[in-house]
Structure 1
Amino acid sequence: MIYAYIRVSTDKQTVENQRFEILKYSSSKRIHVDEWIEETVSGNKRSEDRKLGKVLTDLKKNDILIVSELSRLGRNLMEVMSILNNCMVKESKVYAIKEGYELGNNISSKVLAFAFSLSAEIERNLISQRTKEAMARMKSEGLPIGRPAGSLSKQTKLTGKEATIRELLDKKVGVSTIGRILGVNRLTVESYIRTRKLRED
């Protein structure tokens, strides 16, 4: 399947420019777009809360997702990188026309995947450091740290994603990579796998 994804932020913008770019590109490559996905939504909204989320879930090996530019996937760099990494794990391809990227199973994509991984690791370290500093400050001010007893919600960031996690585990994808794909910490994934018994010990 070949998907074309078009996103505009407001109803005052038009999808026609993006559609034209994709049609021109697909014509030059002699490929046919099987499904067009259009939506008017801010790129700050999480991909899973957009039509894009279903497309990313449906993507299979050798499927292609075409966008006029990478910013259509999201405005947050880490989310865009996570989406691209997710596509590479699935062995599907992403074509970004403006940047001239054709990301798939090739050496340039693997280099980018390494860059994504490194950037995600740096981001996690920064978040960890900020968290430690905040907790140290709260402790020094005598403020309570952590959730009150019995306040843990049954809903988590991974609720409803058991099937995706099982599929990735079956493909021998590491827990850290699953965390990056789903936008959560590795420890969150490990805890979810353990409590839901998604993997045999």
Structure 2
Amino acid sequence: MTVYGYCRCSTNEEKQDISRQERDLKALGVMDKKHVYKEYESGTKVHRVELQKLLDIVKEGDTIVATEASRITRSTKQLCDIIDFAKKKKLCLIFGSIKVDCRKDIDPMTNAFLQIAGVFSELERNMISQRVKSGVANARAKGKIVGRPTLTIKDIPQKVKDMYGLYKQGAINKTDYAKLCNVSRPTLDKYLKVIIEG
């Protein structure tokens, strides 16, 4: 029986530090780093690569740990789907201090609590989204430019540009390219998009 961890942030590692979640997962019983699945995606996105990898690898009797239910999903429907999946697979789910042992029958109170937690998580996400939209509309009404500045070839570090030829020839893969240039994979992808389109 293996204990797996899942941690998620909405934006890439340059903007949000996921290491606190990793430390918390260890405290919750995930002892092997290779069993931790990290994702930089919105919790509203149903199809997530790392989450799917985790769901594909778990076997009967395994445990999935997240620091809170909203790290797994911010959708009530998806939370219910994951609980159903755990029941079929006979898994144990740990969301911070909440333990849902689907290796045996879940009591109705725990089931209801999880669904309520999912509802509040979805509500919080919708309220944040509404506040952001309102703030953007207000800023635009005041004539402010909203959003990230457009990335141009001039913004890309010289080392990334210099090593592009090696990557294009297949001498280095994308992971090595990112390491050699000391940038994250998501950032490298953004740079490559500009280089290729430019």
Q: Structure 1 length normalisation: TM-score?
A: 0.49
The structure with the larger Rg is 2
Using the size of structure 2 for normalisation, the TM-score is 0.49
